[in-house]
């Protein structure tokens, strides 16, 4: 499946956005850490970083809060300790403009009217709504509701769920994931393996391109890859976005989700069978279906403020080819402090007595800690890297990969000269495993660099469990992949060398159900970090190999991102010499 047209358009649009940098906020001197860091990658040093970054004192590391400043202070202090250079000229930061929109859930209303009966929807339990319009008041009135299957328009696949439909002023209702998922048909898109067309971000962008007034995605746990609580927590409270000037992609006035139960009831009341329509939506030639004359009314009141957050970056200059770089990235942000005194950074305030700090230990203090450990390994290696190595901690990942999206549009080293990106996100604390998971295995030639390193560790490269969840599109490496930069996102697997695969699945399942985007994601002294150390050495090995050779890895033939890489690496054509007079 090729998505070249979509990605090329995004690349051209974003590349045009280079706003002037805002005045840089000062960096406070971080309190000294009472820990003797060693030069080797170690579980002890890794643990220290995670403990600090995920402590209650950092307040869940929400962008624009004291937690951001504390995180910046800590990371920059570590960069300075290592002797790295500022990554953005003489600055450790790249300012990322953002719009903060906080819905007033108490006054926000949403109603579906069908056959003269109005059914109000409760925020958080039946639906979640938001706007990217940066408008304090958004109203949708009497908007006809129409079911558009998966909401996909893929010309190269001969698929258009909007064909023959004018959705201007209408509310489109669609399924999560992409055609082929619910049927498991490998001939439809990638079957169970999610493509970019299955991501909720794409669906809202396409609905905006079509001119819809609003778009609602029907949630189901299997198709989304997470439960309704994740939607509720992520869509409540303060929402962050890039300003339209920095991200010219089309935006809907109103977008959100319906619970599966709410959607099923709506379709039943309209005399429709949602299961039958889901089956039909998986067939070529599917036609949109009006939802029995149902109309959607919503009034969303929000507080809108303009602010900025920061990507944090450092550089180790290459001794031979400093203009070429390998980039290690991890997102530093998480969901913040949801106590009433903090106003709820990303979710409704916790009840009195409840844990209200979303510490984000695994997601993603582990990734930041991992990049710091890898940076230390590069500092002490001999010989020094021939190419530069950039260590990039991005913001606003939890809000749609916005920090990495902004960096990819405004890179400090041109993307054509960026050899590869290696991403660390939510590292596995299962312990040492026989498998090493590569999210999107087979996408790029980076697999061929990682494989012999894994072989030496007696590990096998495998694709991710749950390919239907679209993990390749859910972390910061994707922002680079859209521009054609080969990107590696790998982590420890589940087949524990002593306890087996069932044990590993239990650990991973517990993370997904009990910890992911919840206050319980805290540092645990019981973590088995032997596997993390293996993972870090493997990812360091990939970067070290690339930093000391002259290879330019690419995506494999037929991959959606290869055309963008080929175009960026193509030598400019010299204009013909003028004819002699």
Enter the tokens of residue 186: 């490998």
In a domain, 341, yes or no: yes
| φ, ψ (nearest 5 deg) of residue 531 | -70, -35
CB-based contacts of 165: which residues, under 8 Å, 6+ apart?
146, 148, 210, 288
Q: For residue 21, is pLDDT > 50?
A: no
Q: What is the pLDDT of residue 235?
A: 87
Q: For residue 345, is pLDDT > 70?
A: no
Q: What is the pLDDT of residue 515?
A: 94
End position of a domain, from candidates 278, 304, 330: 304
Within this chain, do residues 204 and 56 fall inside the same structural domain, yes or no? no
8 Å CB contact between 426 and 364: yes
Which of the two residues, 372 and 185, has the higher pLDDT score? 372
Residue 89 CB neighbour total at 10 angstroms: 11
Enter the tokens of residue 557: 């033939």
Within this chain, do residues 424 and 516 fall inside the same structural domain, yes or no? yes
8 Å CB contact between 37 and 81: yes
Residue 35 and residue 25: Cα distance in Å, rounded? 28
Q: What is the pLDDT of residue 349?
A: 53
Residue 377 and residue 372: Cα distance in Å, rounded? 9
For residue 252, the domain's CATH number is 3.50.30.30
Sign of CA dihedral 46, 394, 178, 258: positive
Within this chain, do residues 77 and 109 fall inside the same structural domain, yes or no? no
Residue 371 and residue 312: Cα distance in Å, rounded? 12
Question: What angle do helix axes 43-53 and 66-82 make, rounded to 10 degrees?
Answer: 150
Alpha helical stretches, state H, 225-331? 228-235, 260-269, 274-281
Instruction: Please give the full DSSP string across 48-83, using - where no structure is assigned.
Output: HHHHHHTSGGGTT--TTSHHHHHHHHHHHHHHHHHT
The DSSP symbol for 485 reads: -
Within this chain, do residues 59 and 181 fall inside the same structural domain, yes or no? no
For residue 347, the domain's CATH number is 3.40.630.10
In a domain, 350, yes or no: yes
What value does the mean pLDDT take over residues 245-251? Answer: 86
Tally of domains within the chain: 2
8 Å CB contact between 129 and 121: no
Enter the tokens of residue 151: 């909401």
In a domain, 17, yes or no: no
Q: Using DSSP bridges, classify how beta strands 214-218 and 238-241 pair: parallel, antiparallel or unpaired.
A: unpaired
Q: What is the pLDDT of residue 145?
A: 98
pLDDT digits (tens, 9 = 90+) for 59-91: 999 999 999 999 999 999 999 999 999 999 999
Within this chain, do residues 343 and 422 fall inside the same structural domain, yes or no? yes
Within this chain, do residues 410 and 298 fall inside the same structural domain, yes or no? no
pLDDT digits (tens, 9 = 90+) for 461-510: 999 887 777 788 889 999 999 999 999 999 999 999 999 999 999 999 99
In a domain, 391, yes or no: yes
Any idea of the CA torsion for 45, 50, 52, 53, to the nearest 10 degrees? 140
Burial class (CB in 10 A: 0-12, 13-18, 19+), 187: exposed
Q: What is the pLDDT of residue 487?
A: 97
Q: Using DSSP bridges, classify how beta strands 321-331 and 387-394 pair: parallel, antiparallel or unpaired.
A: parallel
Q: Helix (H, G, I), strand (E, B), or coil: what is residue 441?
A: coil
Q: What is the mean pLDDT of the chain?
A: 89
Q: For residue 9, is pLDDT > 50?
A: no
Q: What is the pLDDT of residue 409?
A: 93
In a domain, 147, yes or no: yes
What value does the mean pLDDT take over residues 394-408? Answer: 94
8 Å CB contact between 281 and 161: yes
- Region of poorest pLDDT, from 328-332, 354-358, 429-433, 576-580: 576-580
Burial class (CB in 10 A: 0-12, 13-18, 19+), 275: exposed
End position of a domain, from candidates 304, 329, 351: 304
Maximum distance among all Cα pairs of the chain, rounded to whole angstroms: 87
Within this chain, do residues 297 and 325 fall inside the same structural domain, yes or no? no
Q: What is the pLDDT of residue 16?
A: 37
Within this chain, do residues 76 and 125 fall inside the same structural domain, yes or no? no
Closest by CA to 436, choosing from 500, 496, 364, 524, is: 496
Enter the tokens of residue 478: 């994707």
Residue 556 and residue 445: Cα distance in Å, rounded? 7
Within this chain, do residues 156 and 256 fall inside the same structural domain, yes or no? yes
What value does the mean pLDDT take over residues 360-380? Answer: 97
The beta strand positions in 81-193, using DSSP E, are 85-86, 93-103, 109-114, 117-120, 127-130, 137-147, 153-154, 159-160, 171-175
Q: Using DSSP bridges, classify how beta strands 93-103 and 238-241 pair: parallel, antiparallel or unpaired.
A: antiparallel
CB-based contacts of 541: which residues, under 8 Å, 6+ apart?
450, 453
Find how far residue 214's CA is from the centre of its chain: 23
8 Å CB contact between 447 and 510: no
Q: For residue 338, is pLDDT > 90?
A: no
Within this chain, do residues 366 and 292 fall inside the same structural domain, yes or no? no
Within this chain, do residues 274 and 423 fall inside the same structural domain, yes or no? no
What value does the mean pLDDT take over residues 388-397? Answer: 97
Within this chain, do residues 125 and 70 fall inside the same structural domain, yes or no? no
In a domain, 179, yes or no: yes
In a domain, 363, yes or no: yes
Beta bridge partners of 94: 311
Range of the domain at 403: 35-83+317-568
What value does the mean pLDDT take over residues 257-273? Answer: 97
In a domain, 24, yes or no: no
Q: What is the pLDDT of residue 33?
A: 56
End position of a domain, from candidates 304, 334, 369: 304
């Amino acid at each position: 499946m090729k998505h070249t047209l979509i990605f090329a358009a995004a690349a051209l649009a974003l590349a045009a956005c280079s706003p002037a940098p805002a005045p840089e906020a000062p960096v406070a001197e971080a309190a000294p850490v009472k820990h003797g860091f060693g030069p080797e990658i170690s579980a002890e040093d890794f643990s220290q970083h995670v403990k600090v970054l995920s402590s209650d004192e950092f307040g869940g590391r929400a962008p624009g809060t004291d937690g951001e400043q504390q995180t910046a202070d800590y990371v920059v202090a570590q960069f300075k300790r290592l002797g790295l250079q500022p990554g953005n000229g003489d600055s450790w930061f790249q300012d990322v403009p953002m719009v903060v929109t906080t819905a007033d859930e108490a006054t926000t209303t949403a109603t579906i009217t069908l056959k003269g009966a109005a059914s109000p929807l409760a925020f958080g339990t039946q639906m979640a709504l938001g706007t990217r319009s940066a408008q304090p008041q958004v109203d949708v009135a009497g908007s006809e509701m129409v079911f558009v299957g998966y909401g996909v328009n893929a010309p190269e696949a001969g698929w258009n769920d909007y064909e023959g439909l004018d959705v201007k002023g209408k509310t489109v209702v669609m399924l999560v994931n992409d055609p082929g998922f619910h049927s498991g048909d490998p001939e439809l898109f990638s079957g169970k393996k999610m493509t970019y067309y299955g991501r909720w971000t794409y669906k809202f962008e396409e609905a905006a391109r079509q001119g819809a007034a609003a778009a609602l995605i029907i949630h189901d746990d299997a198709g989304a890859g997470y439960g309704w609580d994740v939607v509720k927590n992520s869509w409540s409270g303060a929402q962050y976005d890039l300003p339209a000037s920095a991200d010219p992609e089309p935006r809907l006035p109103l977008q959100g989700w319906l619970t599966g139960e709410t959607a099923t009831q709506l379709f039943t009341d309209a005399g429709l069978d949602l299961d039958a329509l889901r089956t039909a939506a998986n067939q070529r030639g599917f036609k949109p279906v009006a939802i029995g004359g149902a109309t959607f009314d919503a009034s969303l009141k929000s507080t809108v403020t303009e602010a900025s957050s920061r990507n944090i970056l450092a550089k180790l200059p290459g001794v031979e080819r400093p203009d070429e770089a390998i980039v290690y990235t991890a997102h530093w942000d998480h969901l913040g402090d949801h106590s009433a005194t903090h106003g709820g950074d990303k979710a409704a305030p916790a009840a009195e007595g409840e844990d209200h700090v979303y510490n984000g230990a695994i997601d993603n203090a582990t990734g930041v800690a991992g990049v710091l450990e890898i940076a230390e390994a590069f500092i002490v290696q001999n010989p020094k890297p021939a190419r530069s190595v950039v260590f990039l901690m991005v913001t606003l990942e939890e809000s749609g990969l916005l920090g990495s999206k902004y960096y990819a549009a405004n890179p400090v080293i041109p993307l054509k000269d960026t050899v590869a990106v290696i991403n660390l996100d939510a590292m596995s604390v299962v312990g040492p495993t026989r498998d090493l998971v590569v999210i999107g295995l087979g996408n790029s030639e980076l697999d061929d660099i990682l494989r012999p390193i894994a072989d030496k560790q007696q590990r096998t490269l495998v694709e991710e469990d749950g390919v239907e969840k679209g993990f390749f599109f859910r972390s910061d490496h994707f922002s680079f992949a859209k521009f054609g930069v080969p990107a590696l996102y790998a982590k420890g697997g589940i087949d524990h060398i002593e306890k087996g695969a069932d044990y590993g699945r239990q650990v991973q399942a517990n993370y997904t159900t009990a910890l992911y985007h919840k206050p319980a994601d805290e540092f645990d002294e019981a973590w088995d970090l032997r596997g993390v150390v293996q993972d870090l050495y493997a990812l360091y090995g990939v970067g070290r190999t690339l930093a000391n050779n002259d290879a330019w890895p690419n995506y494999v033939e037929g991959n959606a991102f290869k055309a963008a890489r080929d175009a960026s690496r193509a030598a400019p054509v010299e204009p013909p010499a003028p004819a002699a007079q």
